[in-house]
């Protein structure tokens, strides 16, 4: 089983390391044709506006929408969450607009307000170690969206069918349980 990591910006190597700890093969996706070779795709953190521009430049918008239309699993972390959202507060145009969530960028503050914590995530037995860096927040969800975890009553992990998102960076810890959850989603698809 191959799980790709969109390699335009962000912690690509760290996501691949976490994927490989689940027993799947991790692939850095730099070209749209590679989407045909993978069964799931992670959109990592970084800066959502920059990722959106690069996705448009390298023709990933329609390619990832087609990938999603086939029911293939997607996982967006931090900026990847913003990229998947249908609505971004503050007037920024949606990028992929696939997941029925509304998000607020940098909701947890600036870089210096970064922090780590353990979260209880629905469907995972152990607490998940989460690193919040200029993290977005899910401010509302549609009917088909399952809230998997909250932090101080704010939504930070959610799933809608074949799509998973987290406000935080699970790849920056030794805890790969959220990647295992995603790998299990990919196995169920195949």
Count of all residues that appear for the chain in the document: 190
For residue 59, which of 39, 28, 38, 31 has the smallest C-alpha distance?
31
- Selecting among 15, 95, 171, 179, the annotated active-site residue is 171
State the Cα–Cα distance between residues 137 and 12, nearest whole angstrom: 22
Is residue 169 among the annotated active site residues? yes
State the Cα–Cα distance between residues 160 and 46, nearest whole angstrom: 22
State the Cα–Cα distance between residues 123 and 5, nearest whole angstrom: 23
Q: Is 54 buried (19+), middle (13-18) or exposed (0-12) by CB count in 10 A?
A: middle
Q: What is the DSSP letter of 36?
A: G
For residues 4 and 20, the answer to whether their CB atoms sit within 8 Å is no
Is residue 174 among the annotated active site residues? no
Is residue 78 among the annotated active site residues? yes
- For residue 80, give the H/E element and its range: helix 79-84
- Selecting among 15, 78, 95, 162, the annotated active-site residue is 78
For residue 16, which of 75, 59, 99 has the smallest C-alpha distance?
75
Active-site residue list? 78, 169, 171
């Amino acid at each position: 089983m191959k799980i790709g990591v969109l390699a335009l910006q962000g912690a690509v190597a760290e996501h691949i390391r976490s994927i490989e700890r689940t027993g799947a093969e991790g692939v850095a996706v730099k070209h749209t044709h590679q989407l045909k070779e993978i069964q799931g795709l992670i959109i990592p953190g970084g800066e959502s506006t920059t990722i959106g521009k690069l996705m448009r430049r390298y023709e990933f918008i329609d390619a990832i929408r087609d990938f999603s239309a086939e029911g293939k699993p997607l996982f967006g972390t931090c900026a990847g969450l913003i990229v998947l959202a249908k609505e971004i507060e503050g007037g920024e145009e949606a990028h992929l607009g696939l997941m029925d969530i509304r998000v607020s960028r940098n909701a947890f503050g600036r870089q210096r307000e970064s922090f780590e914590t353990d979260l209880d995530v629905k469907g995972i037995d152990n607490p998940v170690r989460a690193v919040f860096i200029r993290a977005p927040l899910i401010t509302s969800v549609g009917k088909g969206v399952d809230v998997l975890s909250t932090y101080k009553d704010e939504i930070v992990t959610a799933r809608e069918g074949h799509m998973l998102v987290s406000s935080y960076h699970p790849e920056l810890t030794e805890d790969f349980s959220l990647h295992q959850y995603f790998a299990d989603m990919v196995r169920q698809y195949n």
